[in-house]
Amino acid sequence: MSAATPFAVLAVALGGALVVACLEQAVAGATVSPRVLLRRAWRQVDQPLTTARGHDAWLYHLAPPLLLLAAVVALAMVPWAPGFRGVELSTGVILFAAAIAYVTPAVLMAGWGGGRPLVVLGGFRFVALMLAFAMPLAMVITAVAAPAESLRPAAIVDVQRAVPTALVQPLALLLWIPSAMTVAMLPPFDLATAREELGGGAFGQYTGVHAGMVALAQRILVLALAGMTAALFLSGWHGPLLPPAVWMALKTLAVATLMLWAGRRSPRVELDRLLSLAWKLAIPAAIGAIAWAGLVTLLFYVP
Amino acid sequence: MSSLGTALVFWPSAAIMLVTGLYVFRTASMARAGLLLLASLGVEGLIFLALASEFLGVLQLLMMSGEMVIMTFFMVMFMPDPGGLMGMDMTHEKRRSAALAVAVAVGLAVVAVVTDWPAQTLNGEAPDVRQIGFEVMGRSMFSFLFAGITILFAMVGGTLLAKHGGRLGLPAPGGDR
Amino acid sequence: MISLPVVLGVGAVMFGIGLYGVLGQTNAIMVMMGVELMLGASMLNLIGFMRYAWPDAASGAFFVLIVMTLMALEAAVGFALVISVFRNRRTAELDDLTDLKG
């Protein structure tokens, strides 16, 4: 890791957020126009901030930067190419999970700082959702790290040189994708934070630069989760003909498109049903996924 | 980590940790108290990272976010004035508790300074993940098993306590679900 | 410049702050927050010992893991108790729970 790595990560964050926004336009059927997006973002920042009377100003102002910080730190953990592995830590995958976990207090702060009852409720609903879905997220990380015998994302990528983890541990992938979509506040799991919800969701009180920060953070989160999915499940940068970075970019874009597209085909899932599915189905299945990962590791990966 | 790097991370983090920890008990808003505790214990994770314990620092960061969010939830549920706008006083025995706290802190600090600690210097990293894993699965396996069983009991017991009918399964009075 | 007594001193202050909360707060949940601070201080001490005095002891790291687990466990059981008490007494204030007082 060189001194330029943080700046490179920031560049990937900003550029990647634009790419994700263009993907959203494409998936929605609109014409893809980065210029329109940038102009809209610029105008967004110009708008004034509105605040509710008696709201908690500290939490209101601290939530979007925290969300942005969490998204960027998560993105920094994603390994993009053998030469550019982000900020490499020997426990990188756990720091990724930690950064993703900080989305929850950020949304809670956004909700509480908003001050209006429905906005506060939106924040609480997101917390309830994330408490349920953070567990499969962390357990699946454990499951995919087991064959690599390491918590370094690049090592997990390298162990998939022959076979991607998606084929060896399909249950883990099946649990990971909805959890990742819930963290990234993507439909159909975004009941708590969607703008169309009552009161505007947990971010309903944000306008201007705060709303811009939240939107940027959400796009970076999608990018980080898609990139990590490609790294953990789809063999990362390994592939036959093209250079490694191109493979990684293609896989990340494919996962991001899948996550953005899947929500448009189904209505928003109700909170009760989501929580029920998470606690009663996803977590026991995640325990099973860990057991399966252990079995697979002992049989195939340990020499 | 170089000693300058460690110092650069340690001193501000320690200051933030202590100040936010103190403000947990001095703020009236309950959401703020929970999130200040998150700040305090999360920054402690950064101190762990500075003191060459990478795995434990990252784990602390991960766990504290979830725990403190739950705590904030519960405080908003069960405190009489969660918004902090009514100026209620939530403390008792102020002077005695402060005096005792200061006395204990000073006593511990004196013990820390006076004792003759062994002066082994760290040549590499503190035990990394691999060594911790071997330790957990090897020598400390008994404690690990015990902790696992304790967690199971705590989960089951906590759920039973929190269930509507209590552990006897009786219907709740007052007709709530 | 940062040595073991410094780290232990910071831990001592944090322990004192936690103790101030445990002794001084009336609500059960605030008391639990004080306990979390005290356990955090003990973890800091353990990490300090591992870094400056006994670098080869992976059992210190394991102890920190156990303390972290205990923080979560104690919070969970404490919250369950508070729920139960609140359901029966409509209050979580420790000053109102005086059944066993002499």
- Mark yes or no for CB contact C52/B105 under 8 Å: no
Query: How many angstroms separate the first and last alpha carbons of chain A?
Result: 30
Q: Which of C12, C36, C75 sits opposite B105 (nearest CB)?
A: C12
Query: Which of B19, B91, B121, B123 best probes binding to C when mutated, by most C CB atoms within 10 angstroms?
Result: B91
- What is the value of ipTM here, to two decimals? 0.90
For range A41-57, the mean pLDDT: 82
Please list, residue by residue across A261-282, b when 16 or more beta carbons sit within 10 angstroms of its beta carbon and e when fewer do: ebbeeeeebebeebbeebeeeb
Nearest CA in chain B to A94: B58
The predicted pLDDT at position A69 comes to 96
Structure tokens given for A76: 């920094």
Q: Which of C61, C66, C79 sits opposite B147 (nearest CB)?
A: C66
3-state secondary structure at position B103: helix
Winning range, highest mean pLDDT, from A193-202, B73-82, C11-20:
C11-20
Query: How many angstroms separate the first and last alpha carbons of chain C?
Result: 52
- Mark yes or no for CB contact B67/C69 under 8 Å: no
- Mark yes or no for CB contact B67/C71 under 8 Å: yes
Residue of A175, A179, A167 whose CA lies nearest to A133:
A179
B117 to chain C, closest Cα gap in Å: 7
The more confident residue out of A248 and A51 is A248
Q: What is the pLDDT of residues B97-152, one digit of tens each?
A: 999 999 999 999 999 988 888 876 666 566 788 888 888 888 889 999 999 999 99
CB pairs under 8 A between A and B: 63
- Mark yes or no for CB contact A124/B128 under 8 Å: no
Q: Do the beta carbons of residue A8 and residue A84 sit within 8 Å?
A: yes
Q: What is the pLDDT of residues B101-112, one digit of tens each?
A: 999 999 999 999
Helix, strand, coil share of chain C (percent; to 5): 80, 5, 20
**Is the peptide bond prior to B12 cis by the omega test (within 30 degrees of 0)?**
no
For range A244-267, the mean pLDDT: 91
Please give the model's pTM, rounded to 2 decimal places.
0.93
- Mark yes or no for CB contact C55/B126 under 8 Å: yes
- Amino acid identity for residue B96 in this structure: R
The predicted pLDDT at position B177 comes to 47
Q: What is the pLDDT of residues A92-117, one digit of tens each?
A: 999 999 999 999 999 999 999 888 88
